[in-house]
């Protein structure tokens, strides 16, 4: 089973996450941030990756540490579950419409982390959550999961729709990229024979 559990304990957060890459999209998420819970549930459901996550953070200060650290922990768990990445399809992309909004996500599970974020918001907050924190989550996730990740909102007006389409796009692209390719069983999908930065 391609699954992993990661724990992170700092003075700011205590987080435990378990992922199963070959799941059915079942999630149990509790971060203390309602909107973030909703987005992580979307990530699980549309990627078919089972995610269990419990986070306790310094929400009395703000939502920054908890948001960023959930991205770190889920990303680490995905990376551990992928192992040496043998047999995966490696690449994935999705274009997601949501009412008036259209967003595109493309990724390479290359073990070379990089984020391109072309997403803007017209409001500083969604509910109690700062919209600038979504980039922080995607950055932390891409870094720890080892993804080259491009996220672009092509157009849209509703901020909820914009960010939700980004998470759903990530989910669908991730589903493609981490899926096992029966034509590549046991093979690292790279001419180098390994995935990661070349020295």
Out of 8-22, 93-107, 123-137, 173-187, pick the least confident.
173-187
Q: Give CA torsion, residues 39, 42, 47, 50, to 10 deg.
A: 90
Residue 192, domain member (yes or no): no
CATH number reported for the structural domain that contains residue 29 in this entry? 3.30.230.40
Domain count, the chain: 1
Whether the predicted pLDDT of 198 surpasses 50: no
Instruction: Give the residue numbers spanning the domain of 113.
Output: 3-184
**What Rg value do the Cα atoms of the chain yield, rounded?**
16
**Measured in Å, how far apart are the chain's first and last C-alpha atoms?**
31
Helices and strands in the chain, H and E counts: 4, 10
Residue 199 has pLDDT above 60, yes or no: no
Residue 191 lies in a domain: no
Give 127's pLDDT tier (boundaries 50, 70, 90): confident
How many angstroms separate the CA atoms of 189 and 194, rounded? 8
Q: For residue 10, what are the CA distances in angstroms to 69, 130, 136?
A: 10, 22, 18
Question: Does 39 map to a domain?
Answer: yes
Judge whether 148 lies within some domain: yes
Distance set, CA 61 to CA 10, 87, 129, 137 (Å): 15, 43, 12, 17
Task: Report the share of the chain in percent with pLDDT over 70.
Answer: 93
Instruction: Identify whether the C-beta of residue 47 lies closer than 8 Å to the C-beta of residue 25.
Output: yes
Length of the chain: 199
Q: Is residue 40 one of the residues assigned to a domain?
A: yes
Residue 194 lies in a domain: no
Does any domain span residue 197?
A: no
Consecutive H or E run containing 170? helix 159-178
Q: Which DSSP letter does residue 97 get?
A: E
Interstrand relation of 13-20 and 50-57 (parallel, antiparallel or unpaired): antiparallel
Identify whether 83 is part of a domain: yes
Q: What is the pLDDT of residues 154-195, one digit of tens each?
A: 999 999 999 999 999 999 999 999 999 888 877 766 656 666
């Amino acid at each position: 089973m391609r699954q992993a559990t990661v724990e992170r304990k700092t003075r700011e957060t205590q987080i435990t996450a378990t992922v199963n890459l070959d799941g059915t999209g079942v999630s149990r998420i509790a971060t203390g941030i309602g909107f973030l819970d909703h987005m992580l549930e979307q990530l699980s459901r549309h990627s078919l990756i089972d995610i269990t996550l419990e986070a306790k953070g310094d929400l009395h200060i703000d939502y920054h540490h908890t948001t960023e650290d959930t991205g770190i922990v889920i990303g680490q768990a995905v990376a551990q579950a992928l192992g040496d990445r043998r047999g995966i399809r490696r690449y994935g992309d999705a274009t997601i419409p949501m009412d008036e909004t259209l967003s595109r996500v493309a990724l390479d599970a290359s073990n070379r982390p990089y984020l391109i974020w072309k997403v803007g918001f017209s409001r500083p907050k969604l509910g109690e959550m700062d919209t600038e924190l979504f980039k922080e989550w995607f950055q932390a996730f891409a870094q720890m999961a080892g993804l080259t990740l491009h996220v672009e909102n092509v157009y849209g007006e509703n901020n909820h729709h914009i960010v939700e389409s980004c998470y759903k796009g990530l989910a669908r692209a991730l589903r493609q990229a981490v899926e096992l390719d029966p034509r590549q069983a046991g093979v690292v999908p790279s001419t180098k024979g390994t995935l990661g930065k070349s020295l």
